[in-house]
Amino acid sequence: MAKTNMKKLNYSEIEKRIVSFLKKEAEKAKMEGYVIGISGGVDSAVVSTLAAKTGLKLYTIQMPIHQKNDEVGRATNHVKWLMENYPNVSAIDCELTSAFDSFLSSVGKLEDKEKQHMAEANTRSRLRMVALYYHASIKKCLVLGTGNKIEDFGIGFFTKYGDGGVDVSPIGDLMKSEVRELGKFMGISKEIVEAKPTDGLWDDGRGDEDQIGATYDELEWAMEECGYRSDEELYNMIERELFSERKAKVLQIYLKRHNANIHKFMPIPVCIINDLRK
């Protein structure tokens, strides 16, 4: 599905903007650098490369939990490439499979297998968040977010207090296609840039697009459509069959996920009682 009205970006300027942003955020927080989880995907590869370019300390952390060999291989190759090119980069291996298995054995199994699998996937993500903040506190660093605009502000495709638990969001205003192009510009390996997008949370190897039911290019189109039309207008257009069957399906996927995950985008609700104080 072709995207419309997508502006051509100057990736050299984007690189400079994000590197400067990362330097300023670390300085404001009085931190020495960053930690980041490396998954073998393009998002973490792009963010880690941008952070490496700051010259600040960068700790790349691999946190496999029953991980597929190809994911581990891509992550390992990327960390090696970073360390060969940036002397401020260090690597930490943090095998979490045994911790994950131990946790599952303590909570037991559910009868509903799909709920069980979803709970396990979110637990993997939250366990990794705990490990990242453990190392961040020791190293006096901030935790880098790796979510792109579609995931973080479109369909909420992240785990609350898991990969959504971060200190800064360097690529949160970049679409997935733009992250890929930035990766190419910075010389990130083709095997990573072209890898099947995956959150690495499922034993069966299912990717992001398998879970969502739409490609990132399709979701970018849908997000743009939703940017200048109300939900009511879009549903009305779908009912009047003003979109192709596939576009209508993608819009429904986008709207359903966006609306269901609004709670992820919003501040935690607080019950205000100040008016009751005398």
| Residue 101: pLDDT over 60 | yes
Query: What is the enclosing helix (H) or strand (E) of 154?
Result: none
Span 251-278, average pLDDT: 93
| Residue 2: pLDDT over 70 | no
Q: Which residue from 237, 220, 200 is spatially nearest to 121, judged by alpha carbons?
A: 200
Mean pLDDT of the chain: 93
- The letter for the amino acid at 19 is V
Share of the chain above pLDDT 70, in %: 96
Distance in angstroms (rounded) separating the CA atoms of residues 126 and 133: 11
Looking at the DSSP bridge assignments, the partners of residue 143 are 35
| Residue 173: pLDDT over 50 | yes
The domain segmentation of the chain, as residue ranges, is: 11-204, 211-265
* Fold category of 11-204 in CATH: Rossmann fold (3.40.50)
From the number of C-beta atoms within 10 Å of its C-beta (0-12, 13-18, 19+), residue 224 rates as middle
Q: Which residue has the higher pLDDT, 198 or 56?
A: 56
Q: What does the block give as tokens for 248?
A: 């209508």
| Residue 278: pLDDT over 80 | no
Asked which of 22-31, 52-61, 231-240 is least confident by mean pLDDT, the reply is 231-240
Categorize the per-residue pLDDT at 197 as very low, low, confident or very high, splitting at 50, 70 and 90: confident
Q: Tell me: the pLDDT tens digits for 199-224?
A: 777 776 677 888 899 999 999 999 99
Span 99-126, average pLDDT: 92
Q: Tell me: the pLDDT tens digits for 126-156?
A: 999 999 999 999 999 999 999 999 999 999 9
CB 195 within 8 A of CB 74: yes
CB 75 within 8 A of CB 37: no
Q: How far is CA 135 from CA 57, 83, 117, 138, in A?
A: 13, 19, 28, 5
Distance in angstroms (rounded) separating the CA atoms of residues 157 and 258: 9
Q: How far is CA 165 from CA 110, 215, 224, in A?
A: 26, 25, 26
Categorize the per-residue pLDDT at 6 as very low, low, confident or very high, splitting at 50, 70 and 90: low
Asked which of 74-78, 123-127, 197-201, 210-214 is least confident by mean pLDDT, the reply is 197-201
